[in-house]
Amino acid sequence: MLEAKLVILNAKVITLNKKQPRVEAVAIRNGRIAAVGSNGEIRRYISNKTQVINAKDKTVIPGLVDCHVHMTSFGQFLQTLDLRNARSIKALQQKLRAYAYKNSMKNWILGGRWDQEKFAEKRLPTRWDLDAAVADKPVFLIRVCGHIAVANTRALQLAEITKETVVEGGKIDLDEANGEPNGILRENAMELVWKVIPKPNPKELEEACLMACRKAVEAGLTGVHWLLNSAEEMRIIQGLYAEGKLPLRVYLGFPVNLLDKLIGLGLLTGFGNDMVKIGFVKLFADGSLGARTAALKQPYADKPETCGMMLYSQRKLNRLVSKVHKAGLQLAVHAIGDCAVEAVLKAYEKALHEFPRENHRHRIEHCSVLNPKLIKRMKRLGLIASVQPHFVVSDFWVVDRVGEARARWVYPFKTLMKEGLVVVAGSDCPVEPISPLLGVWAAVARKSFPEEKLTIEEALRAYTLNAAYASFDENRKGTIEAEKLADLTILSDDMIKITPDKIKDVKVEMVIVDGKVVYAGK
């Protein structure tokens, strides 16, 4: 019998393999799982060259994968002003003022993750709020959802935004008193400021990517579906892999503005290797519930003058979806409101009718506001539901936003699974914390509409076997069984017996990717 390079003994192993759901030990060789079984069975793989880990009754699960994460943005946010804990506009101003003083050498003050729902004032911050704290240099602060931002006067001037400025797929809010821009920018209007912000150099981008990767493995992740912002990021990821600096597997999600480059090069979903490969093309159909830009079929309950906004006409959405589908690429379309989800379903139906393709595994990202009919159509089309469980915690205001009847069908995780859809989970970090365990906790311990909460095993599947299916890897990873890739996450607590409320306190003890320990706790 061949010796193993690494062996884990005395563990509570949740394999997620129905044929052998629980074992005590795992043997790893050449980056793959050589065998699973009892301690006695696996000890036969030990030689004097084998690294032996005594798990001491800790839980071992398949490596966790975040199926929706903005890695570079996360790394950059770690180096900018974090307003997640601001509970008032006054607190925002204090933090902004202190940050600007501490970072006086920076030409721009960037950051965000503020949430007006948590502010004492219960309103959006404006340019004048920012000016009162910092007026001598441009400030640009993005809401936690990433779909709305506020800029100070200097930033608006540099972006040449005036009351006459019009932007397709976006909105520039005007002050009711004087008709001037109040600094609040929604959806595509934010791009006007992004265009004038100096771009980070390659070294800065690489540092952001590395920082995000380190935080990801510390959180227990062995893989991510990495949503790219630019081609430069892809070059950096490839460089990190070539230099042996990439600690986890990457499935690449490309913005739609890079679609023509992908098609021109003839690249298809799946091109690459087990560490880095081309995944999907992502496009946005609407905005967010937090910014009230998610496209709803009926008006917002707490702002009946709006139904949100679609970012494309149905015709243009159809054209883009068909173009990606026809090119042999996987699609991931952001659609939060029920109006947007319906529009995306129409586009998928049209593309699949005109260009039939088995096993396309197209996705809808977030698919937040649903109803039974939409869910059945998603199943009929063979779509993957890519959800973010921690939204249940953050969107505590959802009943006020959409009303009780619609709120029942916001984040219906259990129903999606019962209807037979493949449900995958992610964080949408930096919108939410990158920790997959917080996502598992949010899905399992949810208090709102408890009929939609998941079991621990169902939640784990969304981050493991289902995640593997979404990247066409279900035969290579997602469970702990012989011949699969050796990606494992070791946790501090017994995940079989733990109570739901305690899941958020579970610690990541160790992370193994490709048979190598990439994180060994703190």
Helices then strands (H, E): number in the chain?
19, 24
pLDDT value at residue 1: 59
User: Residue 22 maps to which CATH number?
Assistant: 2.30.40.10
Give the model confidence (pLDDT) of 289-338 as tens digits.
Answer: 999 999 999 999 999 999 999 999 999 999 999 999 999 999 999 999 99
Percent with pLDDT over 70 in the chain? 100
Q: Are residues 100 and 190 in the same domain?
A: yes
Q: Are residues 50 and 136 in the same domain?
A: no
Q: Are residues 35 and 91 in the same domain?
A: no
pLDDT at 177 over 80: yes
Q: Are residues 53 and 86 in the same domain?
A: no
Query: Is the residue at 378 inside a domain?
Result: no
Query: Is the residue at 518 inside a domain?
Result: yes
Which range of residues forms the domain containing residue 180?
82-194
pLDDT at 155 over 70: yes
- Of 194, 213, 241, the position where a domain reaches its end is 194
Domain count, the chain: 2
User: Residue 178 maps to which CATH number?
Assistant: 3.10.310.70
Q: Are residues 5 and 107 in the same domain?
A: no
pLDDT at 451 over 90: yes
- Of 133, 163, 194, the position where a domain reaches its end is 194
| Cβ atoms of 52 and 85 closer than 8 Å | no
Q: Are residues 115 and 187 in the same domain?
A: yes
b or e along 391-425 (b: 16 or more beta carbons within 10 Å of the residue's beta carbon)? bbbbbeebbebbeeebbbbbbbbbbbbebebbbbb
Question: Identity (one letter) of the amino acid at 217?
Answer: V
Query: Is the residue at 446 inside a domain?
Result: no
pLDDT value at residue 2: 79
Query: Is the residue at 391 inside a domain?
Result: no
Q: What is the pTM of this model?
A: 0.93
| Cβ atoms of 7 and 50 closer than 8 Å | yes
Q: Are residues 30 and 107 in the same domain?
A: no
Q: Are residues 88 and 40 in the same domain?
A: no
| Cβ atoms of 282 and 255 closer than 8 Å | yes
Give 497's pLDDT tier (boundaries 50, 70, 90): confident
- Structure token digits, residue 419: 């209807």
Query: Is the residue at 516 inside a domain?
Result: yes
Query: Is the residue at 259 inside a domain?
Result: no
Q: Are residues 151 and 113 in the same domain?
A: yes
Give the model confidence (pLDDT) of 410-420 as tens digits.
Answer: 999 999 999 99
pLDDT value at residue 12: 97
Query: Is the residue at 104 inside a domain?
Result: yes
Q: Are residues 91 and 187 in the same domain?
A: yes
Strands 109-114 and 276-284: unpaired
Query: Is the residue at 278 inside a domain?
Result: no
Tell how far CA 229 is from the center of its chain: 13
- Of 172, 194, 216, the position where a domain reaches its end is 194
